[in-house]
């Protein structure tokens, strides 16, 4: 059976793929990555819709569990906790996080390829391993006072 090919049909199919299929696939992959990495578990307890105030490090790389987020993160050391945001193009299923300092626990510091990396446990119940270059995550000196007064 021969179906006549129309340039309008090709354009309609291409438009459908670009407007509907690709965004759905993109969001599905990001949702899966958030689930596998543990970001989704952290978001249930520590999602934040506020803008973070404090010293921040942009374009940082980190690992959540076994998932690497290479040059996609902004890490902000706020008085209340560690703020984590991702580059907007990848923000589907990755809301901004604010993890209180009392729930950021250093597990180990190790050297890999001549660089020091620090691994933290984020959260109390959801406990996600978070690895970043050493020295990036630093609790401000005032954070211990704020936590004691809460």
Against a cut of 0.85, is the pTM above it?
A: no
The answer to whether the CB of 103 falls within 8 A of the CB of 122 is yes
What lies within 8 Å, CB to CB, of 104 at 6+ separation is 81, 82, 120, 121, 122, 137, 139
Between CA 38 and CA 14 the distance in angstroms is 35
Q: Which pLDDT score is estimated for 2?
A: 59
Q: Which pLDDT score is estimated for 146?
A: 37
Q: Which pLDDT score is estimated for 4?
A: 59
pLDDT, block means (10 residues), the chain with 150 residues: 71 82 90 94 92 92 95 94 95 95 93 93 86 86 39
SS3 label, residue 35? helix
Between CA 37 and CA 35 the distance in angstroms is 6
The answer to whether the CB of 136 falls within 8 A of the CB of 82 is no
In this structure, how many other beta carbons lie within 10 angstroms of the beta carbon of residue 146? Answer: 15
Q: Which pLDDT score is estimated for 1?
A: 53
Beta bridge partners of 118: 109, 132
CATH number listed for the domain at residues 39-149 = 2.30.29
Q: Which pLDDT score is estimated for 12?
A: 81
């Amino acid at each position: 059976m021969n179906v006549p090919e129309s340039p309008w049909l090709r354009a309609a199919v291409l438009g459908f793929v670009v407007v509907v299929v690709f965004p759905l696939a993109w969001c599905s992959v990001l949702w899966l990555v958030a689930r596998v990495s543990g970001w989704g578990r952290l978001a249930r307890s520590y999602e934040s819709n506020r803008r973070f105030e404090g010293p921040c490090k942009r374009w940082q790389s980190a690992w959540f569990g076994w998932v690497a987020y290479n040059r996609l993160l902004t890490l902000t050391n706020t008085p209340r906790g560690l703020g984590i945001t991702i580059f907007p193009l990848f923000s589907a299923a990755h809301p901004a996080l604010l993890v209180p300092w009392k729930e950021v626990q250093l597990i180990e510091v190790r050297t890999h390829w001549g660089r020091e990396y620090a691994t933290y446990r984020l959260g109390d119940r959801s406990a996600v391993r978070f690895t970043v270059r050493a020295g990036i995550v630093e609790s401000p000196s005032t954070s211990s006072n704020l936590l004691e007064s809460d």
